[in-house]
Chain A
Amino acid sequence: MSDAREPVTGIEAPVYLQYQFTAGRAPSRFLSALKQGRLTGQRCPGCSQVYIPPRGACPACGIATEEEVTLSNKATVQSFTIVYIPIPGNPIKPPYIVANLVPDGANISFIHLLSECVNEEVHIGQRVEAVWKPEAEWDYKMDNILYYKPLEEPDVPVEMIGKLGVDGLEGKQS
């Protein structure tokens, strides 16, 4: 209230929801692997799709996914957005890039930051690699990976995004 005489035109009306979040068995294994510096997914025994982060079941087949797969630190940009609007409480300064990334060996994307890049040159199919925090700081958290950065590798054709094996374009298709 800079001027007590100004009429009221707005109020702060925050809502805070307090949860006890329990990860469940499959996400707990995923987070435990993250703490050891490994990105893991789970393969569906029915359709062979590899999911990250694993939820313990295949949403397409409705069956449990038990086979754990270690994924690559390399990934492909499936889609992205450049964020120009500051979000209250977010320490990251705009403009920055949030991208849907498919790690090699998985068939589904997750969301992470893209950095060390020229924002205007980021494109679908671009190859990127995880930049991890120092090992001493690893926790049960996805932000053990600080962000992804561009790789000097040929682009992945759009129809191949989400279909690479853990060895990337050179390796076998999964």
Chain B
Amino acid sequence: MSPTEVLSEAFELGFTYTRSTGPVVGRFLTGLRDRRIEGVRASDGRVMVPPMEYDPDTAAALDDFVEVGQQGEIVSWCWVSEPRKAHPLQQPFAWAMIRLDGADVPMIHCVSAASEDQLATGARVQVRWAEETRGHIADIACFELAEVAQ
């Protein structure tokens, strides 16, 4: 047995998935493309964003779509001080649960802010749309503090 240099190289494994959205998520994404955010009203009256296909209590199909606001409040959040390449923002940002005006449940998205101490639970945030929308969750480029956005 001869000693051999152990070989090593960069290797990328790619899964080039495409996903069918179904009618409800498809409608949500179609709305985002038009810079609108739509939820769906559940059997107990709550507005869920993003919309769900089936009622969480009765399992009945849901189709009472409701447009919600483009501002909301941070329900909880987590600061990402070292973003990774796959993250939506390359400077430090927060992942946040955001309850949009008119919605009863929070939705996860990212919040752009200059620093961690600008953020707080209860802070008002507002959508910043991507320059070009394409029917994707990233059509919402991020949320920003509502005061800053003005």
A20 near B8 with CB under 8 A, answer: yes
Q: When A7-B30, A66-B1 are in contact, do A19 and B12 touch as well, CB less than 8 Å?
A: yes
Q: For residue A21, which residues in chain B have a CB less than 8 angstroms away from its CB? A: 8-11
Q: For residue A172, which residues in chain B have a CB less than 8 angstroms away from its CB? A: none
Contact with A along B2-33 (1 / 0, CB 8 A): 10111111111111111111000011011001
Chain A residues with a Cβ closer than 8 Å to the other chain, count: 31
The distance in angstroms between the C-alpha atoms of A12 and B21, with both chains bound, is 10
A68 near B17 with CB under 8 A, answer: no
The distance in angstroms between the C-alpha atoms of A17 and B13, with both chains bound, is 5
The distance in angstroms between the C-alpha atoms of A24 and B10, with both chains bound, is 14
Q: For residue B26, which residues in chain A have a CB less than 8 angstroms away from its CB? A: 7-10
Q: For residue A80, which residues in chain B have a CB less than 8 angstroms away from its CB? A: none
Q: For residue A12, which residues in chain B have a CB less than 8 angstroms away from its CB? A: 16-19
CB-defined A-B contacts under 8 Å, sample of 23? A1-B134, A7-B30, A8-B30, A9-B21, A10-B18, A10-B19, A11-B21, A12-B18, A13-B17, A15-B17, A16-B13, A16-B14, A19-B12, A22-B6, A23-B8, A24-B6, A25-B4, A28-B4, A28-B7, A29-B2, A32-B4, A88-B16, A89-B14
